[in-house]
Amino acid sequence: MDYANSQEALIETELDVLEGADILMVKPALAYLDIIRRIKDNFKLPLAAYNVSGEYAMLKMAVKQNILAEDAIYESVLAIKRAGADIIITYFAKDIAKILKRG
């Protein structure tokens, strides 16, 4: 799929629906927030977003090197939710759980 062509993503999604998909998925999540939103607005199936390992490694390294605050982790996952994902698959699950526990 051409990553520069968001319309192609919608065509591919429609094909998935026509083939009987029970759930839709976008990966990687952070680079495709606009696609997540467009799919959510155009299709009624549950939408998952996969926050891939490269996104995880990039943010973890930036936090470790004090380039970003640790809050960037929560903010990035929240952006996926705001874009429209019903389900978020992420390597940040334990980090998010700790943040939520702190309140």
Q: Does residue 21 fall inside a structural domain? A: yes
pLDDT tens for residues 71-102? 999 999 999 999 999 999 999 999 888 888 88
Q: Does residue 16 fall inside a structural domain? A: yes
Q: Which domain holds residue 86?
A: 6-102
Q: Does residue 1 fall inside a structural domain? A: no
Q: Does residue 35 fall inside a structural domain? A: yes
Using CA atoms in the order 39, 42, 48, 49, what is the torsion angle rounded to 10 degrees? 20
pLDDT tens for residues 35-85? 999 999 999 999 999 999 999 999 999 999 999 998 999 999 999 999 999
Q: Does residue 64 fall inside a structural domain? A: yes
Q: How many residues does the chain have?
A: 103
pLDDT of residue 1: 83
pTM listed for this prediction: 0.91
Domain count, the chain: 1
pLDDT of residue 95: 85
